[in-house]
Amino acid sequence: MMERKELLAYCGGYCGDCLGYTGVLADTADSLKVVVDTHKVNQTIQCVFPEQGEKYWEFYEMLTFMTHLRCPKICRERKGEEVFCHIAKCCRKKGFFACYECDELETCNLLKSKFNGLHYESNMRNLKDIKEMGLEEWLSKGKRHCYWDEAGDR
């Protein structure tokens, strides 16, 4: 099945795999929040595991935070002031579809610093594969790398 090239982020991530784009994490957090609220899990924790009671609210705060982890637009849909990513700005300025077209790919500090390096290794693998295979072939036959799928990445 041919994937949509618009879902390739400038940095080499594939939005179609992203939890923010798919909403998987936010939806799951929403569902879990309904369960813990409905069943008053905070009271159960206080009674059955009182030594963990204070940590429950930290958990609940993080769960609430995760319900908002949704990407309202992919980077290619963002216009004007909505473009907050330095990598997207750089690619657009240079007229590149993504970083794989840039001669400075291997030494780019923008790529290295994005998300404190969280996606760097997997995105670089994607970008190098695209450079070698071409975008259309990578979309139809290539392996999409994600940091959570690969040993050695964070």
Query: Over the stretch 41-85, which tens digit does the pLDDT of each residue have?
Result: 999 999 999 998 889 999 999 999 999 999 888 888 998 888 889
Looking at the fold, whether 94 and 138 belong to one and the same domain comes out as: yes
Tell which residue, 93, 89, 103, 95, has the closest CA to residue 11.
Answer: 89
- pLDDT tens-place string over residues 18-38: 888 999 999 999 999 999 999
Looking at the fold, whether 100 and 84 belong to one and the same domain comes out as: yes
Looking at the fold, whether 119 and 142 belong to one and the same domain comes out as: yes
Looking at the fold, whether 26 and 46 belong to one and the same domain comes out as: yes
The DSSP call for residue 81 is: G
Q: Please say whether the beta carbons of 63 and 32 come within 8 A.
A: yes
Looking at the fold, whether 44 and 112 belong to one and the same domain comes out as: no
CA distance linking residue 81 with residue 84, whole number of Å: 7
The residue that leads in pLDDT, 143 or 132, is: 132
Domain count, the chain: 2
Q: Does residue 145 fall inside a structural domain? A: yes
Looking at the fold, whether 26 and 82 belong to one and the same domain comes out as: no
Predicted local confidence at residue 151, as pLDDT = 61
- pLDDT tens-place string over residues 87-130: 999 999 999 999 999 999 999 999 988 878 888 999 999 999 99
- The CA-atom distances, in angstroms, between 41 and each of 21, 38, 53, 56 are 29, 8, 10, 9
Looking at the fold, whether 88 and 25 belong to one and the same domain comes out as: no
Looking at the fold, whether 52 and 93 belong to one and the same domain comes out as: no
Predicted local confidence at residue 101, as pLDDT = 98
Q: Does residue 32 fall inside a structural domain? A: yes
Looking at the fold, whether 79 and 141 belong to one and the same domain comes out as: yes
Looking at the fold, whether 35 and 88 belong to one and the same domain comes out as: no
Looking at the fold, whether 129 and 97 belong to one and the same domain comes out as: yes
pTM above the 0.85 mark? Answer: no
Predicted local confidence at residue 1, as pLDDT = 33
Range of the domain at 28: 21-66
